[in-house]
Structure 1
Amino acid sequence: KPEKAHRKWENSDFNFDDVLQGMMALFAVSTFEGWPGLLYRAIDSHAEDVGPIYNYRVVISIFFIIYIIIIAFFMMNIFVGFVIVTFQEQGEQEYKNCELDKNQRQCVEYALKARPLRRYIPKNPYQYKVWYVVNSTYFEYLMFTLILLNTICLAMQVSHT
């Protein structure tokens, strides 16, 4: 005979019950840490003090996707760009504040723009073969492909449950 067991419904660590908890949940989404679990819990959410219903609010996934695109990618790029521009401006300001005369300033600019005239080519035949392979475009494409495959492998999430 089946028996009725007493059960208790508890919220997950990240929820949208109040503003602070909602901000923490959205921050977790923007860091890409555990956001799929939060997405599935949000999709299954029903009403206050009621347990989840499987795929009750599938439309909420659109919010998560738009949020990730706007916040995680766009805003992060703006922040990184701001940091780079600030560093460049500080470097230019330091360069303008240094006490160099016109001749010294031209010398520094010339040294910064200088490029080597000759390319180093090894004289040892074994070193030359390795140097030739490493400087080839095929090697560059191979390294790019390996880095891309490594990135894809690291990006895949594996669940062992």
Structure 2
Amino acid sequence: MTGYPMAWEAATSMDRLPETCPYTIAEMEEYLFANHYHWSRDEAPTTFNVSGPCAHKVESDRRYWLFEAEKDRLAGRQEILCPICQKQHVLEPHHGDHATNPGQAPRADEARQPQWFVVVGTGNGCFDPSSKMRRWLYAETNDDDLSPEQFLEKAYREQLVADARS
């Protein structure tokens, strides 16, 4: 399973858990772009389109949201400010893309792109369940071809195992 590291913000004070997702779609897309740019060095830089939420889970001490993300086929040159390194990065369309060369058959690695999910949460801390986190997120590919509800349930159960260890 491919994934990107967790990003989070500790809570300064939090009386109640938010009812709505604490990250915007734009923030999730920025997170995915920056992590892809810096961690997926064997792939051309790309942006992502995030949609959802496609699943949601409410627990007494945490809330979870699940979003789907797709790699964007660039139609033109883009300049993006990276939130990780605070530098401008220039993205060029990949000239071998089927989208830019419709007469060509897609390459084998383009035939089926992996499905990406972004897991967002708030409430008890991921690393220390006795602490509070204002928000956190991470992204993973859905290599097991799970439904959104199954994927979120798996993420929730993995968090319970991590809680038991701390």
Q: TM-score of the superposition, structure 1-length normalised?
A: 0.24
Q: Which of 1 and 2 has higher RCO (CA within 8 Å, sep 6+)?
A: 2
Larger Rg: 1
Structure that is richer in helix per residue: 1
Structure that is richer in strand per residue: 2
